[in-house]
Amino acid sequence: MRHISALIIKFIMTAVIFEIVLNIMTNLTFGQILWLSVITTVLSYAIGDLLMLPLSNNTVASITDALIAFVVLYMANLWLDYTQVGIVDAIISALVLGAGEYFFHKFVHRMIFSRDMRRMRS
């Protein structure tokens, strides 16, 4: 249940950041931004939060999440009908998301991993 809560919070954070940045810089629709948020959230939670964060540190996991966001946003040009997300748009969105991820990882570490470790010890 804690993973579901973390995923929902991460999705909301990602969607808000993407909506603000991409709405200003691109002509993506709200629906397109939501789909990009879903894809980014699932990939970055699985790779950045569940894999990289326990194996490394917050900075490495945040950079991983930012790179995932950049790749998803820039690859969106292949999925969309025409090029809508420029490289600068993807970089700015990824940097802002990476900054948010730094604080999100502190939450994830405290709420999920520390409780899992306590449960394993008992």
Is 17 within 8 Å of 102 (Cβ atoms)? no
Query: Taking residues 86-100, what's their average pLDDT?
Result: 96
pLDDT confidence of residue 113: 66
Is 66 within 8 Å of 97 (Cβ atoms)? yes
- pLDDT of 95 higher than 90: yes
Q: In 10 A of CB 61, how many CB atoms?
A: 27
Cα within 13 Å of Cα(73), Cβ side: 32
pLDDT confidence of residue 83: 66
Tell me how far apart the alpha carbons of residues 101 and 14 are, in angstroms, rounded to a whole number.
9
Q: In 10 A of CB 113, how many CB atoms?
A: 16
Is 3 within 8 Å of 49 (Cβ atoms)? no
Residue with the bigger pLDDT between 4 and 114: it is: 4
pLDDT confidence of residue 77: 84
Cα within 13 Å of Cα(53), Cβ side: 23
Tell me how far apart the alpha carbons of residues 27 and 45 are, in angstroms, rounded to a whole number.
27
pLDDT digits (tens, 9 = 90+) for 46-83: 999 889 988 999 999 999 999 999 999 999 888 877 66
pLDDT confidence of residue 42: 97
Query: Taking residues 27-44, what's their average pLDDT?
Result: 95
Cα within 13 Å of Cα(71), Cβ side: 11
